[in-house]
Chains A and B, each alone.
Chain A
Amino acid sequence: MSAQEGVADLAVREVPRAASGAGPSPVRIVVGYGFWIYLLSDIILFSALFATYAVLRGQTAGGPSGHELFELRHAGIETLCLLCSSYACGLAVLAMERRRVSAFYLCCALTFLLGATFLSVELGEFAGLLARGAGPSRSAFLSAFFSLVGLHGVHVTVGLLWLIFLVAQTAYRGPLDYVRRRLLCFSLFWHALDIIWVALLTLVYLMGAR
């Protein structure tokens, strides 16, 4: 029954033929691939800011350096939050595929809470820096730092808003095909943010605090 539904569903889809000639790819594959292209362009955007930071990280203009400013304890908490959030997000996708409603909501709640914890720790860190007079206008190093880490924080914020929207849509519409595809895109986005954070942690915090 479900296989018949799947084929009937495919018949009405308008997607380009796959290069292999095996027939049209399922929408889920095409959507995932398109979003993957977007994510790569986002990573390239980040690479420009990474390059800027790498060039400017010694230019402290007599102000505080990363060694004096960064606390690895904060960075460790942030890493842990983001990593577990990513894991919970992956489990939410699995729960959705298996139609386990309560598990899905639980995983989404965990994803959101851990992401929000990450943001609050990061904002606390920014506030601490500003209070010490180490704001983005202090030196080229700090401008680059706030742009790079801030852009990642903005991405996390957008992701959290997106997650709220997704959960509301799931509750309202149910696990329809397009809702599941949006969840897939969100999970890709969330995992990609984690990859960017790994680079950020290594370059900014671990190498900077030494």
Chain B
Amino acid sequence: MELNRASSVIFAERGPGVAENETSASFWTYTAGLAFALLLTAASFIVAQTNLLWPAGVPAGLAVLAVAQMGVHLVFFLHIGTDSEGTNNVLALAFGVLIVALVVAGSLWIMDHLNVNMLTPAQMAEMQR
């Protein structure tokens, strides 16, 4: 009895990849993840290759599908959940996402402005005269 109480307290914390109850339902978790991922992949290919979506909206649609699929992988394969025991994992993930967003969006923003403000060779020659 004492032992059971001790182990239930100790195992209250969860790590990535460790499912809540590893001996039950995990097979179906992975299988559901595979099914969702296949569905989303198929949707991405369809959106990219047909004119089902408004053409100008296709990149946004693909981005949404990709984010959804990453979410499926995180929840079903890596077992990163929103339950109270997994707070550490979610916090680390949130920080990672912040850095990735800063790097990617910042690079695109800065380089786009540089491109817009770049002088053409003809303008350079004009200024040097």
Interfacial residues, chain A to chain B (CB-CB below 8 A): 3-4, 6-7, 10, 18, 20, 22-26, 28-33, 35-37, 40-41, 43-44, 47-48, 50-52, 54-55, 72, 76, 79-80, 83-84, 86-87, 90-91, 93-94, 97-98, 184, 187-188, 191-192, 194-195, 198-199, 201-202, 206-207, 209-210
Contacts and interface: CB of A to CB of B under 8 A. Distances in A.
For B7, B10, B93, the residue with the greatest tally of chain A CB atoms inside 10 Å of its CB is: B10
A143 to B, nearest CB: 15
Q: Is chain B's interface secondary structure helix, strand, loop, or mixed overall?
A: helix
Interface string B40-71: 01001101110000000011001101100110
A192 B78 contact: yes
A191 B30 CA distance: 11
B92 A44 contact: no
Contact of A210 (B48, B69, B92, B95): B48
A151 to B, nearest CB: 15
B18 A184 contact: yes
B33 A43 contact: no
Interface in B67-119: 69-70, 73-74, 77-78, 88-89, 92-93, 95-96, 99-100, 103-104, 106-108, 111
Nearest to B104: A51
A195 B70 contact: yes
Nearest to A43: B96
A33 B15 contact: yes
Query: What 7 A-B pairs come out closest when comparing CB atoms?
Result: A32-B15, A40-B96, A51-B107, A29-B15, A202-B66, A206-B48, A47-B100
